[in-house]
Structure 1
Amino acid sequence: MKLSLISVLLASTSIVLASDVFSLTADSFDQFIAENSLTLAEFFAPWCGHCKALAPEYEQAATILKDQHPGIKLAKIDCTQESELCNQHGVEGFPTLKVFRGNSDSVSPYAGQRKADSIVSYMVKQSLPAVSLLADKDSHEKFKQADSFVVVGYFADQQSNNTFAQVADTLRDHFLFGATNDESLAQAAGIEQVPAVVAYKKFDGDDRVVYQGEFVVDDLIQFAKIESIPLVGEVGPATYASYIESGIPLAYLFVDNGKQKAEFVEILTPLARKFKGKINLATINATTFGQHADNLNLKQQWPAFAIQDVVSNFKYTYDQASEITATGLIEFLDKFVAGDVNPTIKSQEPPEVQEGPVTIVTANTYDEIVLDDDKDVLIEFYATWCGHCKNLAPKYDELGSIVWNDADLKSKITIAKVDAPNNDVPDDVRGFPTIKLYPAGDKENPVDYEGDRTVQSLSDFVNKYGKYKVDIVAVGEKTTLVDDEDDEEEVHDEL
Structure 2
Amino acid sequence: MHTAHKLAFGLIAAAAAASASDVVQLKTDNFDEFVKENNFVLAEFYAPWCGHCKALAPEYEEAATSLKEKDIKLVKVDCTEEADLCQKQGVEGYPTLKVFRGPDNVTPYKGQRKAAAITSYMIKQSLPAVSAVTKDNFEEFKKADKVVIVAYLDESDKASKEAFSAAAEKLRDNYPFGFSNDAELAKAEGVTAPAIVLYKDFDEGKSTFTEKFDAEAIEKFTKTASTPLIGEVGPETYSDYMSAGLPLAYIFAETPEERKEISEKLKPIAEAQRGVINFATIDAAAYGAHAGNLNLKADKFPAFAIQEVAKNQKFPYDQEKAITFEDIKAFVDDFVSGKVEPSIKSEPIPESNDGPVKVIVAKNYNDIVLDDAKDVLVEFYAPWCGHCKALAPKYEELGGLYADSEFKDKVVIAKVDATANDVPDEIQGFPTIKLFPAGAKDKAVTYSGSRTIEDLIKFIAENGKYKATVEEKKEEEASAAPAATEVPKAEEAEEAHDEL
Q: Paired residue for 1:335?
A: 334
Q: What is the alpha-carbon distance in structure 1 between the residues aligned to residue 468 and residue 49 of structure 2?
A: 27
Check whether the contact 1:57–1:114 (CA below 8 A) recurs between aligned residues. Answer: no
**Which residue is equivalent to 1:421?**
419
Residues 68-467 of structure 1 correspond to what in structure 2 (within 5 A)? 68-72=69-73, 74=75, 76=77, 78=79, 80-81=83-84, 85-86=88-89, 93-102=93-102, 107-115=106-114, 118-136=117-135, 138-156=136-154, 157-192=157-192, 194-204=193-203, 206-300=204-298, 301-404=300-403, 406-467=404-465
- 2:36 equivalent to 1:38: no
SS of 2:139 mapped into structure 1: helix
| Identity level (%) | 45
- Displacement of 1:37 in angstroms is 2.2
Give yes or no for contact 1:24–1:77 (8 Å, CA) kept in 2.
no
Contact 1:313 1:427 in 2 (8 A): yes
Distance 1:34 1:164, change over 3 A: farther
What letter is aligned with 1:68? E
Q: How far is 1:158 from its partner?
A: 3.1
Greater alpha carbon shift after TM alignment, 62-71 vs 248-257: 62-71
TM-score (norm 1): 0.82
1:167–1:220 contact (8 Å) kept in structure 2:
yes
8 Å CA contact 2:44, 2:96 repeated in 1: yes
**Do 2:100 and 2:106's aligned partners in 1 also have CA atoms closer than 8 Å?**
yes
Q: Given residue 464 of structure 2, which amino acid in structure 1 is its aligned partner?
A: G
Contact 1:306 1:317 in 2 (8 A): yes
Matching residue's letter, 1:390: K
Unaligned segments of structure 2, at least 5 residues:
1-14, 476-500
Q: Residues 465, 361 of structure 1: CA spacing in aligned structure 2 closer, same or farther, 3 A cutoff?
A: same
Aligned to 2:26: 22
Inter-partner Cα distance in structure 2 for 1:413 and 1:289: 39
| Cα separation, partners in 2 of 1:54 and 1:290, compared to 1, 3 Å | closer
Aligned length: 454
1:294 & 1:440 partners in 2: Cα distance? 33
Shift of the alpha carbon at 1:342?
0.7
Q: Which has the higher helix share?
A: 1
TM-score (norm 2): 0.81
CA distance in 1, matches of 2:324, 2:72: 55
Structure 2 CA distance for aligned equivalents of residues 61 and 454 of structure 1: 37
TM-align CA RMSD: 3.2
Shift of the alpha carbon at 1:142? 3.5
Tell me, yes or no, if the aligned pair for 1:50 and 1:95 is still in contact at 8 Å: no
- Aligned-pair CA distance for 1:452: 2.8
What is the identity, as a one-letter code, of the residue corresponding to 1:397? Answer: E
Counterparts of 2:443 and 2:45 in 1: how far apart (Å)? 26
Could you say which residue in structure 2 is the equivalent of 1:482?
Answer: none
Deviations 1:391-447 (A, max 9, x none): 22122222222122x242322221111111111100111222222222222221222
Q: Secondary structure at the match of 1:315?
A: strand
- Gaps in structure 1 of 5+ consecutive residues: 1-14, 479-495
